[in-house]
């Protein structure tokens, strides 16, 4: 220190090594979780499913029974109008 040169800490406490290993393990676990979520998302999109979900509104494209009823209603009104 007399020459104005700062010395770095050379000795590392064993706690620092354990903390570093646990941080690396946590980072690896988080990375695996992100990869899993990404893989599931890609698999769902590749399957070609409708990505619509329940959001408190009637989705005619989801409910096939309701689609059939609407088609029958539309056909019956067309027949009555044409008569």
CA distance 16 to 10: 13
Q: 66, 60 in Cβ contact below 8 A?
A: yes
Q: Which residues of the chain have pLDDT under 50?
A: 81-83
Q: What does the pLDDT look like over 40-61, one tens digit per residue?
A: 888 888 866 566 666 666 666 6
CA distance 30 to 23: 11
- Put simply, whether the predicted model's pTM sits higher than 0.85 gets the answer no
Structure tokens at 72: 């029958």
Q: 50, 61 in Cβ contact below 8 A?
A: yes
At residue 29, the pLDDT reads 98
């Amino acid at each position: 220190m007399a020459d104005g040169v700062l010395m770095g800490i050379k000795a590392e406490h064993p706690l620092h090594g354990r903390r570093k290993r646990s941080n690396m393990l946590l980072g690896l676990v988080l990375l695996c979780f992100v990869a899993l979520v990404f893989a599931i998302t890609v698999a769902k999109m590749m399957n070609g499913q409708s990505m619509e979900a329940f959001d408190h509104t009637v989705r005619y494209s989801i409910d096939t029974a309701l689609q059939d009823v609407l088609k029958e209603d539309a056909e019956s009104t067309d027949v009555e109008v044409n008569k």
